[in-house]
Chains A and B, each alone.
Chain A
């Protein structure tokens, strides 16, 4: 494709709330064990917000860090695209709340509801607005407060999720270190395998929806696991192949952190060794739209993300949504 302008990630910031929820804490809350959680998911702890802290708070903190890193002010931002399934409220969009709190007076924006693929979908949205020449500075955010929709008496879901956020700035690229390609897919028939049934127009909040615990995450873990294992590898292979690469060319595989076992079996299929994969699910759990930027930040802190590195991002989430991004790290 002969795009005149390419887009790049020019800054990254992340934020997690300080309070920890460890496996030992969960052992006191539900019938589970540190051993089971570690073996089945690879998670040791999650960060959880205090009461009154919402998704926009995490998003703003992460965004401030990204802007500071780039040395620009919020008023320079032209658009904000925010992936989340736990908006502060049904409306207005959390992107609007973030715009206000940040003081990004010149920015428009909206939320993207694609669950664990929310950040990857927002990333492509941001990239397209830059590539088209419409904007020069776009803030892309993935943020979720999953603890607000988790039933802490349901051991099958409460051990998995955590809260966290990440933000990147998208700007025009002046060389090949840019966002190269994306492949996304949706299989809406999987909607029943992972959802929060109430609170929308189908089942508005009522005493009944509360009594039936319909405002929490409901999940068929095995169905999600199987779909994720299949799709993470499939879409990754596709995006590599389409751009003339194989798994061997990938410097860093940044998978959505849903379950270490999903990550390892996708990586196996791609022929990627552990030294090419970022896994930080042990620290954060599954933060839904937050995982990819948090993983990029971990890679950077470990000195594993260098200018020019070929980075493969992949995600699967409720929907089902599937996302993949291929890029060369630009700074």
Chain B
């Protein structure tokens, strides 16, 4: 079972990339999902809006997969904005 935050993130990825939600797994890398650096910017922007957070650009640039994205988001939600998840 994926938790609520992870589920929301996976839903947003599918929406941004316009792909079926079942294609997105917690193990997916952005490359596997066909997300390039510009898609990633769009995605992080959507996530910032959805969760009302702000991800610093250098942290955003380092995110390469779903797991890392969720980790960054969860850290950010607890006030740690510099965690890169790696």
Write the nearest CB–CB distance from B37 to chain A, whole angstroms. 7
Chain A residues contacting B45 (CB-CB under 8 Å) are 226, 229-230
Whether B57 and A225, one on each chain, are in contact in the complex, defined by CB atoms closer than 8 angstroms, is no
Chain A residues contacting B41 (CB-CB under 8 Å) are 222, 225-226, 229
Whether, in the assembled complex, A265 has its beta carbon less than 8 Å from a beta carbon of chain B, the answer is yes
* Given A229-B45, A230-B45: A223 and B57 interface contact (C-beta under 8 Å): yes
**Complex CA distance for A40 and B45, rounded to whole angstroms:** 18
Whether A229 and B42, one on each chain, are in contact in the complex, defined by CB atoms closer than 8 angstroms, is yes
Whether, in the assembled complex, B2 has its beta carbon less than 8 Å from a beta carbon of chain A, the answer is no
Chain A residues contacting B57 (CB-CB under 8 Å) are 222-223, 226
Chain A residues contacting B42 (CB-CB under 8 Å) are 229, 265
Give chain B interface residues in 38-58, CB to chain A under 8 Å.
Answer: 38, 41-42, 44-45, 57
Whether, in the assembled complex, B80 has its beta carbon less than 8 Å from a beta carbon of chain A, the answer is no
Q: Interface 1/0s, chain A 211-222, versus B by CB < 8 A?
A: 000000000001
Taking beta carbons and an 8 Å cutoff, which residues of A are in contact with B? 39-40, 222-223, 225-226, 229-230, 259, 261, 265
22 contacts between A and B (CB under 8 A): A39-B36, A40-B36, A40-B38, A222-B37, A222-B38, A222-B41, A222-B57, A222-B61, A223-B57, A225-B38, A225-B41, A226-B41, A226-B44, A226-B45, A226-B57, A229-B41, A229-B42, A229-B45, A230-B45, A259-B38, A261-B38, A265-B42
A223-B57, A226-B44, A259-B38 known, 9 other contacts, Cβ within 8 Å: A222-B37, A222-B38, A225-B41, A226-B41, A226-B57, A229-B42, A229-B45, A230-B45, A265-B42
